[in-house]
């Protein structure tokens, strides 16, 4: 008996280590590879959404594989097939993508990202995706007296640990190539222990040895972990109904939509960085861990109540707009996400079926996750003119919650009982839905033009000034962030507005540096083309812009590009990639202003990128970098870059002026030679540089180090 007990514990430990390792690697590779390719596609939040779409679809594929092999292949054939795939995946290591996958500017970014990920991490990720349900099925076959659902909770703990450790341990201390190398070695370890599990299945041949072991251990085996009073349990052998399957799918899809929609919401105006990707995903996984570990963590009454209040807070925040601070907005959105996931995953845990239907259950859950990813990452950008996914996710959350109450026989609302309560609930849901619909339509109805693509939602709006019509302006918005404005009156439409006034760093350089001479000027980030107003007949200005819709709207709805005396040229695509492929431009001035609001494309502020910029400058050329930001102090980064390239640097601040339409802004000017005296003397305010210096590289950057 003791030998059997030891065998059981050893077997349990082996399966636990394998599942934990697979889950850790599965979720470690997501931020790793996404950050690796982020600079290649302009640093857009859509890069992460597209990566998540890929990961969720492949996860679904892994669950399909696990379900089909366990249903239609004998244990020996399962073992042989899986060992073969493990060997094949190991042969594709390491996972670092080749530079040949860098876009040239003409490809569809979403398709390019999916193809890149398929080639670099597709098969290893597929194998890792299938591990959870597959090994739980193998475990149930070899030890049917023990519940496999604790292994599912363990896998989520491994996933959570991978996500939490990445921004605080791996990202700050290890370069991206080293992270990829360590991950590849970790996959080799996983492949080894997984092959041992498969070999054990091969030796068992059938479930009989496992059944005998379970029988001998009947007095010591784990008790069933299904929640008391649940609508379905792990010991219930009744097959799931179609209603059960639809609800499993709907609950999983709703949580997935809320995850991706919330991630978009918190990334758009802050930064596209692993920390902000990981935070929502961490809450998502925490809800899985809690709900599938024990029924004590999920209380339908309390969590539905908390979900109700959090959704009301989200709707109120949407309607309030910029009146709510960014930090409070993030907290509200993340709270709603967490309680939504607790309800969705808590109800899934209450309805988990017998291990006999385990792979089917996981298959439908993964299908829901993939469906949510397809909806947010692929369908929504082409169907909706604005970010309406969160609105739809909230409504879906309300619908599936009501469906749970309607179907659960133990609920006082079962099958339409308590009609007054149902009437009150439906009235409340209708009011909330109407508020969401009104908010979604408001921006569309008040805008002169709206456009959405891979890079986000752009909106052109006119702002009327009641007291002085000469101050009427037209603005281009990226989400809630202003890209640039232009006065509508003929006598003011030539004025450089917002962050580009005459006393701004860029304005000083454009006005004073080699004024009257033939100049070659480069501008990274078009906006509405405001800097073109400084152009003279002696100037050639090349604008680099990754978003084709920005180019279209700047030409169609604004006049800076039409009115300039300079010769202008538009270079579509990511500026850094364009500069890498171009001949030396010998710029007199190069302006770096590709930041959409407070989002930081870190790949434009690395040592490698600044080395590239300097190479395209003349000996006395100026590099003007816009660093205005509410959340991050980028001065240490610019100082670190200046020191690494032995550049002179000054920091220029300009104040707000409503009459001129300018905003408070902060620029830094760098040059191989001392900054011209006429520029520093004309500056409204020269900011103290400070002593802290941080050098970002393509292999290492950490926004937490510059958080205000």
Per-position DSSP letters for 72-108, written without gaps between them? HS-HHHHHHHHHHHHHHHHHT---PPPGGGS--SSS-
Peptide bond into 186 cis (omega under 30): no
Q: In this predicted model, what pLDDT tens digit does every residue of 547-587 receive, in sequence order?
A: 899 999 999 999 999 999 999 999 988 888 888 888 999 99
Q: In this predicted model, what pLDDT tens digit does every residue of 657-678 receive, in sequence order?
A: 988 999 999 999 999 999 999 9
Q: Helical H runs in 513-634? A: 548-557, 560-563, 575-581, 607-615
Q: In this predicted model, what pLDDT tens digit does every residue of 118-154 receive, in sequence order?
A: 988 999 999 999 988 888 888 777 766 666 666 767 7
Angle, in degrees to the nearest 10, between helices 389-407 and 419-446: 170
Q: Which residue has the higher pLDDT, 322 or 318?
A: 318
Instruction: Please give the Cα distance from 692 to 705 (Å, whole number).
Output: 11
Q: In the chain, which segments carry CATH 1.20.1250? A: 1-218, 242-446
Most confident of 235-244, 412-421, 423-432, 610-619: 610-619
> For residues 20-55, b (16+ Cβ closer than 10 Å) or e, as one string?
bbbbbbbbbbbbbbbbbbbbbbbbbbbbbbbbbbbb
Pick the CATH number of 1-218 from 1.20.272, 1.10.3470, 1.10.1740, 1.20.1250: 1.20.1250
Average pLDDT of the residues in 188-210? 74
Query: Residue 568 belongs to what H/E stretch?
Result: strand 567-572
Q: β-strand 539-545 against 567-572: which pairing, if any? A: parallel
Q: List CB contacts of 579: < 8 A, sequence separation 6 or more.
A: 544, 585, 612, 613, 616
Instruction: Please give the Cα distance from 268 to 288 (Å, whole number).
Output: 26
What confidence score (pLDDT) does residue 682 get?
87
Closest CA to 471 of 489, 483, 485: 489
Flag the least confident range among 49-53, 280-284, 311-315, 515-519: 49-53
CATH number of 473-706: 3.40.50.150
Cα atoms found within 13 Å of the Cα of residue 31, Cβ hemisphere only: 29
Q: β-strand 587-592 against 519-524: which pairing, if any? A: parallel
DSSP state for residue 168 in the 8-state scheme: I
Asked if pLDDT for residue 422 goes beyond 90, the answer is no
> Whole-angstrom distance between the N-terminal and C-terminal Cα of the chain?
62
CATH number of 242-446: 1.20.1250
Q: Helical H runs in 100-207? A: 109-142, 149-165, 171-173, 176-204
Average pLDDT of the residues in 296-323? 84
Q: In the chain, which segments carry CATH 3.40.50.150? A: 473-706
Cβ distance 638 to 668 under 8 Å?
yes
Read off the pLDDT band of 307 (50, 70, 90): very high
Query: Residue 146 belongs to what H/E stretch?
Result: none
């Amino acid at each position: 008996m003791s030998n059997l007990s030891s065998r059981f514990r050893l077997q349990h430990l082996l399966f636990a280590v394998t599942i934990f390792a697979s889950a850790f690697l599965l979720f470690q590779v997501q931020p790793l590879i996404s950050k690796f390719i982020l600079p290649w596609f302009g640093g857009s939040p859509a890069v992460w959404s597209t990566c998540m779409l890929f990961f969720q679809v492949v996860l679904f594929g892994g669950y399909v594989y696990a379900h089909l092999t366990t249903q239609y292949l004998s244990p020996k054939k399962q073992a042989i097939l899986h060992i073969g795939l493990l060997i094949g995946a190991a042969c594709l290591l390491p996972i670092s993508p080749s530079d040949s996958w860098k876009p040239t500017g003409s490809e569809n970014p979403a398709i390019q990202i999916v193809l890149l990920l398929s080639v670099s991490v597709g098969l290893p990720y597929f194998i890792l995706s299938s591990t959870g349900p597959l090994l739980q099925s193998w475990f149930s076959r070899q030890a049917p007296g023990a519940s496999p659902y604790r292994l599912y909770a363990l896998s989520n703990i491994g996933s959570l640990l991978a996500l939490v450790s990445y921004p605080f341990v791996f990202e700050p201390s290890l370069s991206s190539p080293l992270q990829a190398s360590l991950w590849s070695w970790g996959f080799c370890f996983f492949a080894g222990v997984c092959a041992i599990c498969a070999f054990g299945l091969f030796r068992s041949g059938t479930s009989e040895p496992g059944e005998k072991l379970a029988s001998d251990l009947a007095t010591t085996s784990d008790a069933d972990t299904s929640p008391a009073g649940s609508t379905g349990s792990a010991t219930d052998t009744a097959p799931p109904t179609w209603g059960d399957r639809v609800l499993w799918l709907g609950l999983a899809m709703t949580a997935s939509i809320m995850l991706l929609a919330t991630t978009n919401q918190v990334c758009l105006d802050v930064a596209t960085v692993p920390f902000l990707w990981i935070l929502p995903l961490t809450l998502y996984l925490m809800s899985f861990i809690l709900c599938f570990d024990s029924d004590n963590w999920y209380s339908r009454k309390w969590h539905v109540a908390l979900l109700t209040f959090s959704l009301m807070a989200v709707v109120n925040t949407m309607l309030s707009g910029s009146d709510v601070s960014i930090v409070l907005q993030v907290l509200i959105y993340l709270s709603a996400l967490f309680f939504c996931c607790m309800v969705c995953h808590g109800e899934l845990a209450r309805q988990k079926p017998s291990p006999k239907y385990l792979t089917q259950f996981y298959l439908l859950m993964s299908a829901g996750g993939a469906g949510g990813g397809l909806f947010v990452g692929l369908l929504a950008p082409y169907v909706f003119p604005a970010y309406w996914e969160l609105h739809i996710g909230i409504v879906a959350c309300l619908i599936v919650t009501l469906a749970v109450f309607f179907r659960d026989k133990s609920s006082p609302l079962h099958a339409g009982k308590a009609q007054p309560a149902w009437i009150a609930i439906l009235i409340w849901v209708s009011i909330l839905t109407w508020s969401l619909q009104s908010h979604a339509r408001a921006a569309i109805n008040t805008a002169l033009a709206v456009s959405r693509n891979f890079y986000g939602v752009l909106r052109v709006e006119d702002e009327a000034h009641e007291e002085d019509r000469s101050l009427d302006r037209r603005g281009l918005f990226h989400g809630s962030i202003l890209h640039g404005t232009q006065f509508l009156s003929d006598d003011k439409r030539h004025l450089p507005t917002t962050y580009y006034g005459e006393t701004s760093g860029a304005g000083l350089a454009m006005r004073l540096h080699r004024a009257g001479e033939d100049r070659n000027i480069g501008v990274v980030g078009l906006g509405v083309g405001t800097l073109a107003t400084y152009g003279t007949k002696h100037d050639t200005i090349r604008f680099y812009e990754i978003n084709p819709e920005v180019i279209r709207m700047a030409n169609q709805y604004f006049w800076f590009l039409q009115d300039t005396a300079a010769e202008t040229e538009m270079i579509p695509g990511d500026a850094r990639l364009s500069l890498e492929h171009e001949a030396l431009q010998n710029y007199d001035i190069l302006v770096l202003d590709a930041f959409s609001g407070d989002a930081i494309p870190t790949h434009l502020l690395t040592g490698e990128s600044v080395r590239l910029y300097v190479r395209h400058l003349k000996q006395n050329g100026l590099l003007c970098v816009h660093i205005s930001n509410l959340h991050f102090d980028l001065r240490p980064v610019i100082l670190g870059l200046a020191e690494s390239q032995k550049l002179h640097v000054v920091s220029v601040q300009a104040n707000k002026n409503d009459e001129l339409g300018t905003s408070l802004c902060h620029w830094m000017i760098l040059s191989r030679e001392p900054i011209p005296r006429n520029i520093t003397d004309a500056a409204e305010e020269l900011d103290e540089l400070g002593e802290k210096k941080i050098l970002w590289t393509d292999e290492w950057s950490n926004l937490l180090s510059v958080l205000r």
